[in-house]
Structure 1
Amino acid sequence: MNTDTIKYIPDEVWEQILDNLPQLNPIYVPILLVLEASGFRISDTLLLKKDCLDLRKDGWWLVGDIRKVNYKDHKVPITEEIAAVIKAQITLVEKYSNDSNPEGFLFPNPTGKRKGLPITQTVFNDNINILAHRYNITDLSGEIFRIKNHAFRHRYGVKMINNGMNILHLQKLMAHASPEMTLVYAQKKDNTLRTEWAKAVNNGAVRLSLNGSVIDANLEDQAKENGLELEWIRHNMDSIRLDHGFCIKSPKLSCDFLDQTLEPPCIKNNCRSFHVDQTFLNYYKEQIAKIESDIEIYKKTNSIRSIELIQPKLQRYKDIAASLEGGNGIQGLSKERREYKVDERNEVHFHDQ
């Protein structure tokens, strides 16, 4: 498998799937949502048990066996919303299928010869593709998107990499035996040369204000305000450099926006730890050109909603690119707003003990 052959579900297709989710047989809806949110293989998802939820101090986790690599009780973090979906499924199963489901499967067949046994991969996939054909779920070229079960797992990997997750962290979440397997999701150019980074570190750098406007930034000041030393950032620049900028967040703190998918979350949420310099200018120019090209395709297919969804992202990227070209930057939040929040400050203090 390589980056050219990954068949994953892109955002524009995922949006169409969500729009038509009410038309899908409700038996398959929670399976689809868990697949997309967890990165589990379809085989492992369909064999999840009713005791697959684990609530910790930091939130909900999904627990299941990964049979391909023989990992028992593999855990991945999930959102409150996905946990609620799973809890509703547990309630439904216990109400209608408990007697015929002695092994406690989360997704048992409710009727038929396979009653109480897990729903099969083929049946699930057939129903998803019936939905795609019946409700005209298409790719950017206007062709019906053929959905394969493993595409949900690929979507999870691509989504996490594009949102800035460290390769080794993603390797652990996806239960890959080696980082080489995870690297296929890193669909981005190697743009981390130290000399270029060092020259541009305080030259024409930008960040986002609370209201999303683009203003000047100084990486050294920003590092101090986020509780980091600039030398630490220089030493670890490969791990904090994303497609679209630098994450200047303390490694002791988790990202508040990591589970968001439709746009780089640091841009969408005007994150105070987000920093962009001129080494990223070509990236934004390429993205602008791609988005504008996508919009032309959307116009031809009369995909009005897709255009509405993508226009704000286009404007944000144009603002950042214009500011970088003009030597301006992103300053954004006042010093008080950029300091740790109370719970973050307590968390850092706890880790330092």
Structure 2
Amino acid sequence: MLDQMSIEFMTAIGTLKKLDYFFAFLHQSHPDWVDMRNLSRNDIEGFLHFLRTEPMGGVPGGQKATNSHVNTAMGKLRVFIEDIQRYGWSESPLKPVGNLIYPEDYPKRQETNPNTVKYIPDYIWDLVLSNIDQFKREYIPILLVMEATGFRVSDVLMLKLDCLTKDKTGWWIIGDQRKVKYKDHRVPVTEEIAAVVQSQIELVRKVSTAENNPERYLFATFTGKRKGYPITSNTMRNNLNALARKCHILDENGRPYKFKNHAFRHRYGVTLLNNGMDIVIVQQLMAHASPEMTIVYAKILDETKRKEWEKVRATGAFAAIRISEQGKIVPATLEEQVTENGLELEWIRHNFDSIRLDHGICVKNPKIKCTFLDSVLEPPCIKNNCRSFHVDSTFIDYYKQQISKMEEDITAYKKANRLRSIELIEPKLKKYKEILSGLQNGNGIFGLEKSRREYTGDERERVATSVE
């Protein structure tokens, strides 16, 4: 059936669940029927009413039917009737499906704002990791692979025992992307995730047989109704939500966080872009059929960054600094630096992604060429005491991480007696510590004297010329 094409296991399960509603309605309306030959338009209208009044999941007092639920149920029913009529089943309705189900039977879906696509934010993921010992032990590897690969949950659950491979570049996980019919899709993973998968492979191989795991699934179950198959995606989601309730993982409104499996895939895309990866590479890693799908994640990232930036600025009590021409760390305000560079805050908001660097914010007027752009050995803004370089409290974690890494490098250099390497890194370490200290010890925001807010003579001439 279904055009005699093979369909994925989870797709088949989803179809059967929706058809269950239809057959429950038929049994209630026509308990003596043994086929659907006399199915009429009135029956379809009755089924629509049934869908709207019966709670989703069939549990009394459960969630009321949504437009998406009705759409999906009607879509699955139409395909089912089309197929059994096409293949001449004697039980199929005598009336053509077009005379039974009308286009207006499908309620309009609510338009989705790309910026509201749900993904797992860092603070939620951190809470999950800190409480992972409370999660079902056998589901932990599934969760970690979901977060690390960006695979759809159904594709993670269908991974095989030979999914892990290593080449000269590192570890990779290989699996089919069933929705887009992309076989053997590869994504890179860290040593830590590879170790988790290796442990799972060893564990499953010890107990797998041709009888209890014929398809050699990585996450197979060996007892119960799903013997030889992985758990369902619903089981994964329900256990995540149980963890949220048990460990008080709360959303921004103080309610238990509602996990959706697909939000981990969204997290993967946003994280890659947040780490500066080219959008074309992200498209390839996520096996998107078109770049438009990947752009959704870029929009999420853009909106998230801007909200975080504006939220911090709105407090009016965070430290911000700049580097004077003499190389000293001095208090600053973004407004003053924007003004002295002939910019507006609205321009900053619009171009925020392009001016936010790893180590700070560049507010140089784009009409003035950056004379430090070709410097590569050090962040040029810091090395050359650029007056257009702005750092605020949102960069504290970055400087902490960099300082820690440099201190580790110095320790290694000392053991190897690499004195020249130490000489090169120590000035940078000192400057980074000064920046971090300025951010941590700043007492609010202070302005600079007027002389520091003025352009130099040649800069003023270049701005005037470019404006003309």
Q: TM-score, normalised by structure 1?
A: 0.58
Displaced runs of 4+ in structure 1, greater than 3 A? 240-247, 271-281, 284-288, 314-319
Which of 20, 26, 37 aligns to 2:148? It is 37
* Number of aligned positions between the proteins: 236
Could you list the per-position Cα deviations for residues 131-182 of structure 1 after superposition, in whole angstroms to 9, with x for gaps in the alignment? 1111111134422111100011111111111111111111111111111111
Judge conservation of contact 2:174–2:186 (CA < 8 Å) in 1. Answer: yes
What is the distance in 2 between the residues matched to 1:143 and 1:316? 37
Shift of 1:108: 0.8
| Matching residue of 1:19 | 130
Residue identity opposite 1:50 in structure 2: L
**Greater relative CO (CA pairs within 8 A, separation 6+):** 1
Aligned pairs for 1:175-190 within 5 A: 175-186=287-298, 187-188=301-302
What SS class does the counterpart of residue 185 from structure 1 fall into?
A: helix
Structure 1 residues 38 and 77, CA gap change in structure 2 (3 angstroms): same
Judge conservation of contact 2:150–2:264 (CA < 8 Å) in 1. Answer: yes
What is the distance in 1 between the residues matched to 2:356 and 2:244? 31
5+ residue gaps in structure 1?
Answer: 192-203, 207-212, 216-237, 248-270, 289-311, 328-353
Judge conservation of contact 1:36–1:153 (CA < 8 Å) in 2. Answer: yes
What is the distance in 2 between the residues matched to 1:32 and 1:279? 44
What is the distance in 2 between the residues matched to 1:128 and 1:275? 45
Residue identity opposite 1:159 in structure 2: T
Judge conservation of contact 1:108–1:117 (CA < 8 Å) in 2. Answer: yes
Which of 235, 251, 261 aligns to 1:123? It is 235
Shift of 1:242: 7.2
| Matching residue of 1:111 | 223
Could you list the per-position Cα deviations for residues 168-223 of structure 1 after superposition, in whole angstroms to 9, with x for gaps in the alignment? 111111111111111111222799xxxxxxxxxxxx889xxxxxx989xxxxxxxx
Shift of 1:317: 9.6
What is the distance in 2 between the residues matched to 1:33 and 1:214? 42
What is the distance in 1 between the residues matched to 2:438 and 2:277? 21
| Matching residue of 2:357 | 244
Structure 1 residues 176 and 317, CA gap change in structure 2 (3 angstroms): farther
Could you list the per-position Cα deviations for residues 73-130 of structure 1 after superposition, in whole angstroms to 9, with x for gaps in the alignment? 1111000000000000011111123341111111111320111112110111111111
What is the distance in 2 between the residues matched to 1:79 and 1:242? 30
Judge conservation of contact 2:144–2:193 (CA < 8 Å) in 1. Answer: yes
Residue identity opposite 1:176 in structure 2: H
| Matching residue of 1:339 | none
What is the distance in 1 between the residues matched to 2:355 and 2:146? 25
What SS class does the counterpart of residue 289 from structure 2 fall into?
A: coil
What SS class does the counterpart of residue 172 from structure 1 fall into?
A: helix
Could you list the per-position Cα deviations for residues 269-327 of structure 1 after superposition, in whole angstroms to 9, with x for gaps in the alignment? xx96756677774xx65948xxxxxxxxxxxxxxxxxxxxxxx9x968947x99xx978
Structure 1 residues 163 and 110, CA gap change in structure 2 (3 angstroms): same
What SS class does the counterpart of residue 287 from structure 2 fall into?
A: coil
What is the distance in 1 between the residues matched to 2:283 and 2:437? 31
| Matching residue of 1:94 | 205
| Matching residue of 1:84 | 195
What SS class does the counterpart of residue 188 from structure 2 fall into?
A: strand
| Matching residue of 1:157 | 269
What SS class does the counterpart of residue 4 from structure 1 fall into?
A: helix
What is the distance in 1 between the residues matched to 2:278 and 2:171? 21
Structure 1 residues 84 and 245, CA gap change in structure 2 (3 angstroms): closer
| Matching residue of 1:200 | none
What SS class does the counterpart of residue 357 from structure 2 fall into?
A: coil
What is the distance in 1 between the residues matched to 2:293 and 2:387? 31
Shift of 1:69: 1.2
Residue identity opposite 1:7 in structure 2: K
Structure 1 residues 96 and 274, CA gap change in structure 2 (3 angstroms): farther
CA-based RMSD: 3.8
Shift of 1:39: 0.6
Shift of 1:5: 1.3
| Matching residue of 2:87 | none
Higher helix share goes to which structure?
2
What SS class does the counterpart of residue 258 from structure 2 fall into?
A: coil
User: Which of the pair has more CA radius of gyration?
Assistant: 2
Could you list the per-position Cα deviations for residues 38-86 of structure 1 after superposition, in whole angstroms to 9, with x for gaps in the alignment? 1111111111111111101010011011111111111110000000000
Identity %: 47
What is the distance in 1 between the residues matched to 2:130 and 2:191? 21
